[in-house]
Amino acid sequence: MTSCINHVTDEHGIVTITLNRPEAANALSRQLLSELKELLHGLSFETAIRCIVITGAGEKAFCAGADLRERATMNVTEVKQTVALIGECITSIEKLPHPVIASINGAAFGGGLELALACDIRIAAQGAKMGLTETSLGIIPGAGGTQRLPRLIGIPKAKELIYTARRISAIEAQDIGLVNVAVPDRNLSSETMNLAKEIAKNAPIALQQAKKAINQGMQTDISTGMKIEELCYGVTIPTKDRLEGLQAFKEKRQPVYKGE
């Protein structure tokens, strides 16, 4: 059976995960979800990882969302189980300790966009289209879309996009803050890797604690958020990487961080 998920790790500690069902617009089949869930669980414990990139195979789609052909063969119980599995996988992405970049190479609809929303940063090819299109199918976003999109772009605009099931361009997505940047299609891979390398050169423990402070702090009031930041900062103080950063600054050289 052909794998639905490919992943490679380069010399910089950057892991690239590719959704590998181009013949089905990289839709979220049960096999793909099971493979992705297993991979994410393993990666969550990998201390050598500096950054993770998620993209889709082919040039047409990042991820078209749920596999509707497969869904049509399911009974109600199976549908509920699959929807829960999609939510679990997407939440697992958000919970990864490492910085995660969604490299949106093509269409990202429904669960596909929800997957991208769970990443820390989104870079899109200018030719990509995206949207939470569930209401046009008689359902609602069920893998965090109704929660993550309003937090990202604001409640009124999120309601507009969800209520209309509108598909928008990468340029419009950039304008409203849904993606960080839209780049020419031919430059997507290089721009994604340039950003990943820029992140990967920094201290991994500091990156992980910064992510934790932001994600947890944004769910609470600012006073509590400041306390979370204080605790996360405290984790970095006894690290060898902090001392390496200071020494490298003193010696006017690039630091060599080891995640220790």
| 64: exposed, middle or buried (Cβ count in 10 Å: 0-12, 13-18, 19+) | buried
Give yes or no: residues 216 and 192 share one domain: no
Identify the active-site residue in 66, 107, 116, 200: 66
Is residue 114 part of the annotated active site? The answer reads yes
216 and 195 in a common domain: no
CATH of the domain at 242: 1.10.12.10
Whether 66 is a known active-site residue: answer: yes
- Does 188 lie in the same domain as 208? no
Average pLDDT, the chain: 95
Contact indicator for 79, 71 with CB cutoff of 8 Å = yes
> Which listed residue (64, 134, 145, 158) is catalytic?
134
Same domain, 167 and 95: yes
| Cα(145)–Cα(112) distance, integer angstroms | 10
- Whether the full predicted model's pTM is greater than 0.85, yes or no, is yes
**pLDDT tens per residue across span 223-236:** 999 999 999 999 99
* Residue 259 pLDDT exceeds 80: yes
Q: Is residue 259 part of a domain?
A: no
Task: Return the percentage of the chain with pLDDT > 90, whole number.
Answer: 87
Q: What is the pLDDT of residue 1?
A: 65
Contact 70, 30 (CB under 8 A): yes
Q: Is residue 184 part of a domain?
A: yes
Phi, psi for 108 (deg, rounded to 5): -135, 95
C-beta of residue 62 within 8 angstroms of C-beta of residue 26:
yes
Q: Are residue 146 and residue 231 in the same domain, yes or no? A: no
Q: What is the DSSP string of 142-175?
A: -SSHHHHHHHHH-HHHHHHHHHHT--EEHHHHHH
Domain range for 63: 5-200
Spot the catalytic one: 111, 112, 142, 245: 111
**3-state SS string for 197-230:** HHHHCCCHHHHHHHHHHHHHHCCCCHHHHHHHHH
Task: Give residue-wise pLDDT tens across range 135-190.
Answer: 999 999 999 999 999 999 999 999 999 999 999 999 999 999 999 999 999 999 99
Is there a single domain that holds both residue 131 and residue 168?
yes
Structural domains of the chain, count: 2
32 class by beta-carbon count within 10 Å (0-12 exposed, 13-18 middle, 19+ buried): buried
User: Catalytic: which of 102, 114, 142, 143?
Assistant: 114
Q: What pLDDT, on a 0 to 100 scale, did the predictor assign at position 66?
A: 86
β-pairing verdict for 168-169 and 129-131: antiparallel
Indicate the length of the chain as a whole number: 260
77-82, long-range: CB within 8 Å, 24+ apart, which pairs? 82/30, 82/33
State whether 21 and 9 are in the same domain: yes
Residues 67 and 167 in one domain: yes
For residue 20, give the CATH number of its domain: 3.90.226.10
**Across residues 32-51, what is the average pLDDT?**
94
- Asked if residue 217 and residue 190 are part of one domain, the reply reads no
